[in-house]
Amino acid sequence: MKRFRFMKRLPGTFMGALETNTLGDPFKRTASARTGASPAAKLAVIITCFNYEAFVERAIRSVLDQKCDACELVVIDDGSTDCSWEAISRCGVKAFKIENRGQLGACLYGLESTQAPFILFLDADDELKPGSLTKLLDELDERVAKVQFGLTLIDADGNALGPFCSLDSFRDRDRVLDEVLGRGVYKTPPTSGNVFRRDLCELLREVNYDKAVDGVILFAAPLFGDVVSLSEELGRYRVHGRNDSQLGQLPTAPLLERDMKRFAARTEHLRDIVRRLAPGRELIQPQQAFYYREREYCLEIVTGKARRSTSVPKLLVGLLAEPYSPARKLAMAAFFVFGAFLPTRAAKALLAIRSQGGHRSAKTYVRAISGCFPKLTRE
């Protein structure tokens, strides 16, 4: 990815007593019994952890050090088998140790353990930047369904590597909804870069096709209210050897197949939500979406499919309608065309470059191809 008795909450802190609780189910408890946080808390930060002892304390401290009275924090140890629980215990926060349920189940457990109207699901290997909570609180009102913010990419030791998710600043609903309906996606950071209104999070109870939370609630948000996008990087996204996204690595066939299957299932779930909340509006079929076709093409490269060139015309036509800059469209077009007609080894080299994150120019792919030919000739 990417439990209790409470003391009084001290002014300016989230401090509370820790006690392991693996027997009861919070879904059966009343709201007042579930939480020890102030009822005035406007934002709940929920950290779920599975075997991230090396990072979880830093994630917790990134919240605690902000001393934000309008926020509550709860940490869920999702059945870790390492020393994560010991690391969590050192922080003196409200925390629960449960049997492993996966990220989705752990986040739902955390949701039931809080009362705040807005939720931030922070992965245990990520962090918030100083002052971020106050800035996020300033953006929250009853018409906001989601706030998203930029993230800085960091390595395992916390060293900054550059922007991970660069965003434009805006507040909108209709335009984002049109983009979701027409594309099935829009530009959004992963889990740790979002704040969700509580009623939107309730959709997670309907999910039976995924173990992650950065899915349907990201794309259903404009059906519930405004989406606020902040260009400022308020969080840190850590890349290391165990990231689910496998950022910086050549994607594997199982990972691509999983992404395609998950996208299709999420789109059908989203279609049902659209019928309920926006009757008369139509959502794109998953197999027609550029997102799906792009991953299908990458799968053809990874598996060495000989006739992958037949996918290129539809990709290029779909690319024209995507909301990317001309330079990025040119780079993507170069990747599709070169990847289709080069030998599989060279095509995989291009895909590996593409998977490193950030935007690659067309010249990057040309240079990579030039470097491949001497090797291919020798082989």
Q: Per-10-residue mean pLDDT for the chain, 379 residues long?
A: 34 33 34 44 97 98 97 98 97 97 96 96 98 98 98 95 92 98 96 97 96 94 98 95 58 94 97 97 97 94 81 94 92 91 87 73 64 47
Please list the residues that pair with 194 across neighbouring strands: 148
- How confident is the model at residue 344, as a pLDDT? 87
**What pLDDT is stored for residue 156 in this prediction?**
93
**Residue-level pLDDT at 219:** 98
pLDDT of residue 359: 58
Long-range contacts, stretch 250-255, CB < 8 angstroms, 24+ apart: 250/302, 250/348, 250/351, 250/352, 250/355, 251/298, 251/302, 251/351, 251/355, 252/302, 253/299, 253/302, 253/303
Residue 184, pLDDT score:
97
- Considering the entire predicted model, what is its pTM? 0.83
Rounded Cα–Cα distance for residues 198 and 202 (Å)? 7
278, containing H or E segment:
none
- Phi/psi-derived region of residue 92, left when phi > 0, alpha when psi is between -120 and 50, beta in every other case: left
Confidence (pLDDT) at 39:
60
The partner residues of 226 in beta bridges, in order of sequence, read 144
For residues 12-46, one letter each, b for 16 or more C-beta atoms within 10 angstroms of the residue's C-beta and e for the rest, the string is eebbbebeeeeeeebeeeeeeebbbbbeebbbbbb
The span from the CA of 243 to the CA of 241, in Å, is 6
Per-residue pLDDT, 345: 86
**Helices (H), ranges, the chain:** 31-34, 56-64, 84-89, 102-112, 132-137, 174-183, 198-201, 216-224, 253-277, 290-302, 312-320, 326-341, 344-354, 362-378
